[in-house]
Amino acid sequence: MKDKKFWIFVYFISLIIIGSLGYYIIGGNDWTLLDSLYMTIITLASVGYGEVHVLDNYGKIWSILLIIFGVTGVGVLFRTINEEFIQSQRFWKKKMKKTISKLKNHHIICGYGRMGAVIAKELKDKNQKFLIIEKNEEKVEQIRDNDMLCLQGDATSEKTLKSANIDKASGIAVVLKTDQDNLFVTMTIKTIYPEIFLLSRCAKEDNQSKLIRAGANKVINPYISGGHRMAEILIKPQVEDSISVVSPKNSKMNLTIDEISLNDVQKYDSVTIKESRIREKFGISIVGIMDDNGKSIINPLSDQILRSNQTIILIGDVHKMNKFKEELP
194 pLDDT above the threshold of 50? yes
Amino acid at 111: G
CATH of the domain at 68: 1.10.287.70
Let me know if residue 247 belongs to a domain: no
Contact between residue 174 and residue 185 where contact means Cβ atoms under 8 Å apart: yes
Last residue of a domain, which of 43, 74, 97? Answer: 97
- Is a pLDDT exceeding 50 seen at residue 249? no
Instruction: Please give the residue range of the domain that contains residue 33.
Output: 2-97
Question: Does residue 235 sit in the same domain as residue 133?
Answer: yes
- Domain membership of residue 309 (yes or no) is yes
pLDDT at 2: 60
Q: Is the pTM of this model over 0.75?
A: no
Give the pLDDT mean for 297-314.
89
Q: Which of 259, 2, 141 is nearest to 10 (CA)?
A: 2
- Residue 60, domain member (yes or no): yes
Q: What is the per-residue pLDDT for 52?
A: 72
Q: Is residue 28 part of a domain?
A: yes
Closest CA to 240 of 191, 197, 182, 270: 197
What confidence tier does 183 reach under pLDDT thresholds 50, 70, 90?
very high
For residue 165, tell me if it sits in a domain. Answer: yes
Q: Does 246 score more than 50 pLDDT? A: no
Instruction: Indicate the number of domains in the chain.
Output: 3
**Per-residue confidence (pLDDT) for residue 239, from 0 to 100:** 44
H/E element, 133: strand 130-134
- Asked whether the predicted pLDDT for residue 29 surpasses 80, the reply is no
What pLDDT sits at residue 308? Answer: 85
Which of 187, 222, 242 is the last residue in one of the domains?
Answer: 242
pLDDT digits (tens, 9 = 90+) for 88-107: 767 767 777 788 888 888 99
Q: What is the pLDDT of residue 186?
A: 94
Asked if the structure places residue 307 within a domain, the reply is yes
Least confident of 52-56, 82-86, 242-246: 242-246
**In this predicted model, what pLDDT tens digit does every residue of 52-79 receive, in sequence order?**
777 778 888 888 888 888 888 888 888 8
The angle that helices 226-235 and 114-125 make with each other, rounded to 10 degrees, is 50
